[in-house]
């Protein structure tokens, strides 16, 4: 990742409030590649807390790497 021309990387970061995080990053000039959206609903506890939805958004860091932001939010 530190070499010029190296392939980009993808990292996922858990956040408490994906909407506020995306807006704060956008205000700072960060490119938002994908707006927050639900990718999965947890109907059992196999992959996450029962009754939550997993939200995800993608931004691009200063080196061109894609960064996934993830929030597990109670289903409404």
What is the arithmetic mean of pLDDT over 3-22?
88
C-alpha distances out from residue 40 to 1, 14, 47, Å: 30, 15, 10
Tell me the pLDDT band of 2, cut-offs 50, 70 and 90.
low
Tell me the pLDDT band of 44, cut-offs 50, 70 and 90.
confident
- The proportion of the chain whose per-residue pLDDT surpasses 70, expressed as a percent, equals 95
Quick one: pLDDT at residue 10?
A: 87
**pTM of the model as a whole:** 0.83
Average pLDDT, the chain: 90
Domains of the chain as residue ranges with CATH: 10-74 (3.10.180.10)
Quick one: pLDDT at residue 71?
A: 96
Closest CA to 70 of 6, 8, 18: 18
């Amino acid at each position: 990742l530190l070499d010029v021309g190296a392939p980009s990387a993808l990292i996922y970061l858990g956040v408490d409030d994906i909407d506020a995080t995306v807006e704060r990053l956008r205000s700072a000039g960060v490119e938002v590649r994908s707006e927050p959206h639900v990718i999965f609903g947890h109907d059992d506890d196999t992959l996450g807390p029962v009754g939550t939805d997993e939200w995800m958004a993608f931004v691009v860091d200063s080196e061109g790497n894609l960064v996934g932001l993830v929030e597990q939010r109670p289903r409404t």
